[in-house]
Structure 1
Amino acid sequence: FACLPALRFLNLSGTALGRDLGAGIADGAFAGAGGALEVLDLSGTFLERVQSGWIRDLPKLTSLHLRKMPRLRTLEAAIFKMTPNLQQLDCQDSSALTSVHTQLFQDTPRLQVLLFQNCNLSSFPPWSLHSSQVLSISLFGNPLICSCELSWLLRDAKKTVLSRAADTVCVPASGSQDLFSAPLSLSQLP
């Protein structure tokens, strides 16, 4: 992409990117070209992870779309260290996504929207939001396990807005001795 230094929007959605195991986006693929890139859509591709080797060259990235990615299993710590302008991360309907190391969002002070509906997340731990940051999070359709850790999503409505809170449910941990056995809306958590 070095021959496109002014490229601001790149849509690679629905391509065979990552279909062959081990194939994906090469480290440095955006070197020289990624400096202007603001929106990257990788939805519907077969990538297994976001690699720091290529995302580090996207300092102006504001929006990353990772929707309907059948092999995306985790978002690991430190991948957004070099993308401080990220405002929106859309991972909805990526049903293999089971783990998000939420501390990675501490490196994104401008983050406004996280879309994780209909993934496969069982937890979503808190992290320190920047003082002026207001964040909208969508988690409905995930098999969240009820814990006090989830209560941060509802604690400060001026800082964190849980989209469709009444539709976002959690289930008791297997083998737990909780007072309830049916799914519970997060809005009912203590």
Structure 2
Amino acid sequence: MSGGQPPGEGASSLGTELELQRRLALTTPADTVRGLSFHTVLEALRADLGEEAVEQCLAPRVEKVYRSFFSYPVSEYLHVLYTAAWMLSGKHGGFEDAVRRIGAGLAPGFLSSVVGRAYLLLAKEGPKQLISNMPVAFKATASFGESRVTWTGPKSGVFTSKKDFLLYLNHEGGMLGLFRALGLQGARVRGRQTGPLENEVEFSWE
């Protein structure tokens, strides 16, 4: 969908203008995300649809450049995320997979940053230690939300988040991107929304 418009009838309810407005209505000025999150969205657009798509996505926005560790309103991020996902829907088979594709770029971008490189040192103790600290990484990129990782086995667990303006699809894509970055084989994720701003993602690898 090149025009950046909401999907029509029959599409995922998460990808509707109504859902975007519902989330925006719950935000406050204290709810912010780092510029890194914007970079992930815009890099996906740039890679898949070109620079013109990035310019089209940002045309209604006041900000045109987002600094990695500056904080910006999550309402601004939601506008950019939804617009980009609508634009990418045609290429990726719908809104949901478009958001997953965007989320998959978060781990490489974060891990290449100064904070991310420090976080990556945990990988020396094994992937389980690093994954257990995903809530720490979440707090480094967003001012809102509470999250935790609960282990259900040596290579399986559940990531949960509350007061989280992101979609569970963001977290699914982010986890898959992290697992790829760590070289974990047979990675599987399955998420769902459990409340108005609550998510749950089950994950495992072989």
When the two structures are superposed, what TM-score results if normalisation uses the length of structure 2?
0.26
Instruction: Return the structure number with greater relative CO, CA threshold 8 A, min gap 6.
Output: 2
Larger Rg: 1 or 2?
1
When the two structures are superposed, what TM-score results if normalisation uses the length of structure 1?
0.27
